[in-house]
Amino acid sequence: MNKRVPIVIANWKLNGGIDLLCTSVAAFIGKHFSAKIAICPPYLYLRDMLNFLQHSEIMIGTQNVSKYESGAYTGETSAQMIKEAGGSLCLIGHSERRQMFHENDPSCKIKVTRVLNSGLMPVLCVGENLQQREAGITNDVLFRQLHDALDGLDLGDKRIAVAYEPVWAIGTGKAATPEEAQLVHEYIRSELTVLFGKERAESIHILYGGSVNKNNAYELLSQTDIDGLLVGGASLDPEHFMQICLHA
Ligand code: PEP
């Protein structure tokens, strides 16, 4: 029986604008969910979104964060700024950042540390690509991603989450089956146990992401170690995303 309250996070990526912001706010405001819901719009919309949703239960997060605190780093946004703006969480190491923007495990570790120190929740994204899955090295890839980013971290009472996002499932319409995902989530929890001890590992949310929609959300979430969902494409349709949230 899964005792962790599910977290459902929308990742808008480089999509949306004022129209999506307004329709999402209209759809979500005043609604109550059993799960915790977060939306990660592009940075520019963070404040507007927070202002509109300030009396709602919806949390706002970002899709990335700078590994730097301040200084001559043109185009960057720090964890402290996100905190000051009212954000609650930051995605770190999304596969699109790793593939297209040279994000790697050491930079993820710095970002995780900065985000934790700012009092926000880091959501570390991990996952294997198709070639790695077919080569049977999924667990090796995850081992490295988890240990390189989290080894030696002193969590104290700070919160962290992990999102398992198999790269082959992102944006492809081909989600992992609930059973496939559960096996990997179980492995991730076993490594979190090595890193942080059993009690702490049991409290960490492990989210699944990759072609989640309203038809597969419930079955995914009914698995023991699937504690939430990270939703890309389907979150761009507020009514569809709402259905996912209501199932959670
Ligand atoms: C994502 O990119 O985080 C994601 C899960 O995308 P999608 O739901 O579109 O597969």
What does the DSSP assignment read for 27-86?
Answer: HHTT---SSEEEEE--GGGHHHHHHHTTTSS-EEEES---S-SSSS-TT---HHHHHHHT
- 3 vs 141, which has greater pLDDT? 141
Task: Report whether residue 211 contacts ligand 1, using a CB cutoff of 6 Å.
Answer: yes
What is the ipTM score, two decimals? 0.97
How many other C-beta atoms lie within 10 A of the C-beta of residue 154?
A: 8
> How remote is the CA of residue 72 from the centroid of ligand 1, in Å?
32
Task: Report whether residue 127 contacts ligand 1, using a CB cutoff of 6 Å.
Answer: no
Counting ligand 1 atoms within 8 A of each CB, the residue from 8, 125, 165, 244 with the most, and so the one to mutate, is: 165
Say whether 11 counts as a known binding-site residue: yes
Q: How many domains does the chain have?
A: 1
How far, in Å, CA of 243 to CA of 229, rounded?
A: 13
Whether 2 is covered by a domain: the verdict is: no
Counting ligand 1 atoms within 8 A of each CB, the residue from 8, 231, 235, 236 with the most, and so the one to mutate, is: 231
Whether 1 is covered by a domain: the verdict is: no
pLDDT computed for residue 1 by the predictor: 45
Q: What token pair was written down for 65?
A: 């964060």
Say whether 171 counts as a known binding-site residue: yes
**Percentage above 70 pLDDT, the chain:** 99
CATH of the domain at 97: 3.20.20.70
Cα-based distances in Å from 208 to 56, 75, 89, 107, 189: 24, 30, 16, 22, 13
Whether 123 is covered by a domain: the verdict is: yes
Whether 70 is covered by a domain: the verdict is: no
Whether 223 is covered by a domain: the verdict is: yes
Whether 119 is covered by a domain: the verdict is: yes
DSSP tag of 2? -
Task: Report whether residue 230 contacts ligand 1, using a CB cutoff of 6 Å.
Answer: yes
Task: Report whether residue 40 contacts ligand 1, using a CB cutoff of 6 Å.
Answer: no
Whether 29 is covered by a domain: the verdict is: yes
Cα-based distances in Å from 25 to 63, 90, 198, 235: 19, 20, 38, 13
Residue 195, pLDDT above cutoff 60:
yes
| pLDDT class of 30 with cuts at 50, 70, 90 | confident
Residue nearest to atom 7 of ligand 1 (CA): 232
Q: Are 121 and 111 in contact (CB under 8 A)?
A: no
Whether 50 is covered by a domain: the verdict is: yes
Residue nearest to atom 6 of ligand 1 (CA): 232
Q: Are 1 and 222 in contact (CB under 8 A)?
A: no
pLDDT computed for residue 247 by the predictor: 83
How far, in Å, CA of 192 to CA of 200, rounded?
A: 8
